[in-house]
Amino acid sequence: MSAATRIDRPWWKRVGYFYLWLLIRLFAIVFFGLRVSGVGKFPRRTGALVCSNHQSHLDPVLVGSVLPERLNYVARKTLFKFPPFRWLIEYLDAIPLERDGMGIGGIKETLRRLGRHESVLIFPEGTRTPDGKVGRLRPGFYAIARRSGRPIVPVAIEGAYDAWPKGKPFPIPANIAVTVGDPITPEEIRALDEQGLLIELERRIRACHARSCHLVGKRADRAS
């Protein structure tokens, strides 16, 4: 955790995040048999734009539970209307999103946190998968990636769709794996146009997804 993060957050938020991280990690291991790969590739103390596929409501906490540094989350503004969920996402300093996109305020806040060497999680597919497969990425993250000067870290989850598919009210036990891939460096980002970056990020997320499929004993071509 960077010095800027320590100064900006009171001690009780830093300590609380650690214990939430530990509790969720233990729960995921016991309830979902969580398996993890590639965490050592995560860049430390630089801040990163973490881009993951999106299988279920579990995804934000699953990704956050495997990364070695504090993760910033984004949440739709409508979620702030429902206590105590509002208390939780405010406690985690979630970045509010407009219904149809990040909006100017969300983009500015995301860039501000990346500028403080913090990491922010986004789901470039834009919505949860309807069938467990990795969908096409939307280009909304491109401006943030270019302006932030931070690496993009590809991540892929497998098994969360089986645990909590779209349309189901509650999760059920299922094997879940999370894989962290090779970061796309700021130099690589600057060398790519929007379409090129979309293609490269999707390729890396799919490679991570294939690894996650392997960890839970699935065929990647069936689940991607």
* Full set of structural domains in the chain with CATH: 3-73+116-223 (3.40.1130.10)
Copy the structure tokens of residue 165: 């598919």
Looking at residue 2, what is its pLDDT?
A: 38
Quick: pLDDT tens for 116-126.
999 999 999 98
SS3 121: strand
CA distance 110 to 149: 12
pLDDT, averaged across the chain: 89
Comparing 23 with 13, the larger pLDDT belongs to: 23
Quick: pLDDT tens for 78-129.
777 777 677 888 888 888 877 556 678 889 999 999 999 999 999 999 889 9
Quick: pLDDT tens for 48-78.
999 999 999 999 999 999 999 999 998 877 7
